[in-house]
Amino acid sequence: MRDLIDHPDRDHLVAGATALTSPARGATLIPNPAHGHRTRWAAPLRDGATVADALSLICGIGILGAVHTLGEQRFRPCGAPTCKGVFIDTTRPGRRRYCMPGLCGNRINVANHRARQAAPRGGRSAR
């Protein structure tokens, strides 16, 4: 997963995500009786599949869906200089900068605030 998100080339993403879906017996659309005439995806696992196989399938389908719907430009590293995180930006405008805005984004905001407070105030008297 990390290798795919770290190298968001469309062909690389599609090939890697397709490999992750290999535990499935194929994906198809089936009727969804709970929602009238709508359909839903079904990707049954092979007999004897493990939990790791199920997780691999879920991740692969998720990546393929994100590439198809949003494009490979939405796969990006966190904008915080001390963070090694990566994420898929699923926001409507596609401008998310941090893997965890409440943590990484807040750290940047606090650091910027502290830097402004510590900067000389250009001749103003201290309060």
Same-domain status, 3 and 58: yes
> Are 62 and 15 in a shared domain?
yes
Residue 123 covered by a domain: no
- Percent of the chain beyond pLDDT 90? 61
Q: Is residue 86 part of a domain?
A: yes
Q: Is the dihedral of CA 35, 63, 89, 93 positive or negative?
A: negative
pLDDT, mean of residues 13-24: 92
What range does the domain containing 98 cover?
78-118
Whether residue 123 has pLDDT greater than 70: no
Q: Are residues 12 and 67 in the same domain?
A: yes
Q: What is the mean pLDDT of residues 93-111?
A: 90
Q: How many residues does the chain have?
A: 127
pLDDT for residue 103 is more than 70: yes
90 confidence band (pLDDT: 50, 70, 90): very high
> Does 107 fall in a domain?
yes
The stretch 60-75 carries a mean pLDDT of 92
- Split into its structural domains, the chain has a count of 2
What is the structure's pLDDT at 127?
52
For residues 43 and 97, state if they share a domain. Answer: no
- pLDDT, greater one: 52 or 123: 52
Asked whether residue 89 falls in the same domain as residue 35, the answer is: no
Query: What is the Cα–Cα distance from 74 to 70, expressed in whole angstroms?
Result: 7
Largest CA distance in the chain: 75
Identify the burial level of 113 via C-beta atoms within 10 angstroms of its C-beta, where 0-12 means exposed, 13-18 middle and 19 or more buried: exposed
One domain, residues 112 and 93: yes
- Do 36 and 92 fall within a single domain? no
